[in-house]
Amino acid sequence: MTTTMKAVRIHAYGGPEVLHYEDTPLPQIQPDDLLIRVRAAAINPVDWKIREGHLQGFLNHQLPLTLGWDVSGEVVEIGPEVTRFKVGDAVYARPNIERDGGYAEYIAVKASEAAIKPTRLDHDHAAAVPLAALTAWQALVDAAQLRSGQTVLIHAAAGGVGSFAVQLAKARGAKVIATASAVNVGLAMELGADEFIDYTRTRFEAAVKDVDVVFDTIGGETQTRSWSVLKPGGILVSVISPPAEATAAEQGVRSAFVFVQPSGSQLDAIAHLIDEGRIKPILHTVLPLYEARQAQVISQGGHVRGKIVLHVAN
């Protein structure tokens, strides 16, 4: 096997210009690692937030750093402690965000972070799943404990996380109210939304009340305005910023903040839902690895429908 690979790395924090497509050594695996030949990697907002240096106090990164924590590919090497996988397995993963990521031809990940890729998806579509779907799962299933018959308001329902949240909520038997712009009404309804609010024309708090769960993927003013639509005992779950506990107490509701964690077992469950046809990824666009700068510019511009994916290898 080769000892070097192509990767997109940063050597300093800054704008898109700090992303460099270059040669770098092949990752060295630990005893409980898989070495994956990356076929595709997805873009997430956390990528460019890390690139700009916003998470320096939160994450323990060493530069140079390979970005990207959404991957799909094949296992080419396993550590001596690995028993769940074998060389040749098609897998997908949301790797540990404090290690080098997946904008590369190869990545080393903990076996516990990976799962067998959904059989009905190619690698480009599979790479779009882990981080966003795990975020939705950990927010709605783990934190909110969403169950059949409840009502959930999902903000930015056409985005990467929001599109999975709508589908997951429907799979759990919940009523879904989705917010997005008018151009995305068709997508939101296709994904399973029961009601749609065009946030550019209607203030959601004027149209919604007594929901069990608010899923906040926007933060700021949207989060602040969301308190009033919850029923007593309801919960506001954010993946952007921790909701104010004092406000939750005043309103007689609960709050939670989710920063997505790797979970191979949850990816197994998500793959099962995908292969049953109950959840599917939405792709905004697919670009080659060497166009990672452009991919991040698109992501940072907002209004992305679904996920942006980097195609690494056939």
When pLDDT is averaged across residues 92-112 and rounded to a whole number, the result is 97
Whole-number pLDDT of residue 117: 98
Work out the percent of the chain whose per-residue pLDDT is above 90.
92
Domain boundaries, the chain: 4-129+281-311, 132-257
Report the interhelical angle of 130-137 vs 264-275 (nearest 10°). 100
SS (H, E, C) the chain: CCCEEEEEEECCCCCHHHEEEEEEECCCCCCCEEEEEEEEEEECHHHHHHHCCCCCCCCCCCCCEECCCCEEEEEEEECCCCCCCCCCCEEEECCCCCCCCCCECEEEEEHHHEEECCCCCCHHHHHCCHHHHHHHHHHHHHHCCCCCCCEEEECCCCEHHHHHHHHHHHHCCCEEEEEECHHHHHHHHHHCCCEEEECCCCCHHHHCCCEEEEEECCCHHHHHHHHHHEEEEEEEEECCCCCCHHHHHHHCCEEEECCCCCCHHHHHHHHHHHHCCCCCCCEEEEEEHHHHHHHHHHHHCCCCCEEEEEECCC
Confidence band for 305, pLDDT divided at 50, 70 and 90: confident
Residue 117 phi, psi (nearest 5): -60, 140
Looking at the domain 132-257, which fold is it? Rossmann fold (3.40.50)
Distance of CA 173 to CAs 106, 146, 199, 276, Å?
39, 9, 25, 16
Closest among 114, 67, 74 to 94, alpha carbons compared = 114
Whole-number pLDDT of residue 303: 80
Does residue 90 surpass a pLDDT of 90?
A: yes
Distance CA 178, CA 214 (A): 10
| 180's tokens | 């997005």
Tens-digit pLDDT profile for residues 40-80: 999 999 999 999 999 888 888 999 999 999 999 999 999 99
Looking at domain 4-129+281-311, its CATH class is alpha beta
Does residue 1 surpass a pLDDT of 90?
A: no
pTM for this model (two decimals): 0.94
When pLDDT is averaged across residues 140-152 and rounded to a whole number, the result is 98
**Identity of residue 250:** E
Whole-number pLDDT of residue 212: 98
Work out the percent of the chain whose per-residue pLDDT is above 70.
100
Whole-number pLDDT of residue 2: 80
Whole-number pLDDT of residue 71: 98
Tens-digit pLDDT profile for residues 162-197: 999 999 999 999 999 999 988 988 999 999 999 999
Q: Which of 1-10, 205-214, 282-291 has the lowest mean pLDDT?
A: 1-10
Whole-number pLDDT of residue 59: 86
Cβ neighbours around 14 below 10 Å, total: 12
Whole-number pLDDT of residue 60: 84
Confidence band for 88, pLDDT divided at 50, 70 and 90: very high
Q: What is the largest CA-CA distance in the chain?
A: 61
Confidence band for 122, pLDDT divided at 50, 70 and 90: very high
